[in-house]
């Protein structure tokens, strides 16, 4: 799996979806609007402390949204804030999924890598056209082994994997620039 930025965690929703994002971004989603103004520094520090607790004290990078919301509510309460935390805010996250192994299987009946990259481009354009918050690209390893025809991982597999990952990142960054979307959480490749 691709390593996340150091301030990101992977949050698991009730539906079982994995969403990589920063604790601050999720905190903004979880905090309900209240009549009194909320100190952004207080929220930032509370999110950072909860994130630190899970990452460094518990050595965890995958956390349930409800679990994070409960911990955030406790911290905010102890800091004397009247802010309420709504734990189901992360459930509405827009996640698109691409199965690379399935695409490789379809392409291996025709022109292998050439057809694969063409199909990948088309599917990326389609998925990114809806401006998802998260694009979950799965089965990269099986895809690469199928395209190269190898049963074991090789240098050729490594090079092709790097090409696919670079292409996915380029498409993601290009789509983010053209749509000017700020609500995107990330690209999860495994």
For the stretch 25-60, pLDDT in tens is 777 666 654 445 667 777 788 888 888 888 777 777
Q: Are 24 and 57 part of one and the same domain?
A: yes
Residue 146 within any structural domain of the chain:
yes
Q: Are 118 and 60 part of one and the same domain?
A: no
CB of 133 closer than 8 Å to CB of 25: no
**Closest among 61, 87, 59 to 73, alpha carbons compared:** 87
CB of 69 closer than 8 Å to CB of 87: yes
Whole-number pLDDT of residue 89: 42
Residue 3 within any structural domain of the chain:
no
Q: Are 42 and 118 part of one and the same domain?
A: no
Would you state the structure tokens that stand for residue 127, as one six-digit string? 């998925």
Say how many C-beta atoms besides its own lie within 10 A of residue 24's C-beta. 16
> Which of 91, 118, 137 delimits the end of a domain?
91
Rounded to 5 degrees, what are φ and ψ at 139? 65, 35
- pLDDT 10s digits, 157-181: 999 999 998 888 888 777 766 655 4
Residue 122 within any structural domain of the chain:
yes
Count of domains forming the chain: 2
From residue 185, alpha-carbon distances to 37, 79, 90 in Å are: 26, 28, 12
- pLDDT 10s digits, 114-157: 788 888 988 888 888 877 766 778 888 999 998 988 899 999 99
Which one has a higher pLDDT value, 108 or 182? 108
> Which of 91, 119, 139 delimits the end of a domain?
91
SS3 content of the chain, % helix, strand, coil (to 5): 55, 15, 30
> Dihedral, CA atoms, 175, 102, 61, 181, nearest 10 degrees?
10
d(CA 17, CA 119): 25
**Closest among 11, 28, 182, 186 to 91, alpha carbons compared:** 11
CB of 36 closer than 8 Å to CB of 82: yes
Residue 2 within any structural domain of the chain:
no
Query: What percent of the chain is predicted at pLDDT more than 90?
Result: 7
Residue 1 within any structural domain of the chain:
no
Q: Are 78 and 111 part of one and the same domain?
A: no
> Which of 71, 91, 111 delimits the end of a domain?
91
Whether residue 24 has pLDDT greater than 80: no
Q: Are 57 and 13 part of one and the same domain?
A: yes
- Give one DSSP letter per residue of 40-85, joined into a string: HHHHHHHHHHHHHIIIIIS--SEEEHHHHHHHHHHHHHHTT----B
Q: Are 100 and 184 part of one and the same domain?
A: yes
Q: Are 84 and 98 part of one and the same domain?
A: no
How many CA atoms within 13 Å lie on the side-chain side of 104?
20
- For residue 40, what are the domain limits? 8-91
Would you state the structure tokens that stand for residue 66, as one six-digit string? 């409800």
């Amino acid at each position: 799996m691709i390593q996340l930025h150091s301030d990101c965690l992977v949050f698991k929703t009730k539906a079982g979806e994995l969403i990589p994002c920063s604790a601050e971004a999720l905190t903004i989603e979880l905090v309900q609007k209240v009549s009194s103004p909320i100190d952004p520094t207080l929220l930032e520090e509370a999110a950072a402390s909860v994130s630190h607790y899970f990452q460094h004290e518990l050595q965890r990078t995958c956390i349930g949204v409800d679990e994070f919301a409960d911990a955030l509510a406790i911290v905010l309460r102890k800091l004397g804030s009247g802010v309420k935390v709504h734990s189901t805010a992360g459930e509405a996250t827009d996640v698109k999924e691409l199965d690379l192994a399935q695409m490789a299987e379809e392409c291996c009946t025709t022109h292998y890598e050439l057809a694969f990259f063409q199909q990948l481009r088309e599917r990326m354009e389609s998925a990114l056209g809806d401006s998802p918050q998260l694009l979950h690209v799965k089965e990269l390893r099986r895809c690469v082994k199928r395209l190269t025809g190898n049963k074991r991982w090789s240098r050729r597999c490594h090079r092709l994997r790097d090409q696919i990952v670079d292409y996915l990142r380029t498409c993601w960054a290009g789509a983010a620039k053209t749509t000017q979307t700020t609500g995107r959480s990330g690209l999860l490749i495994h």
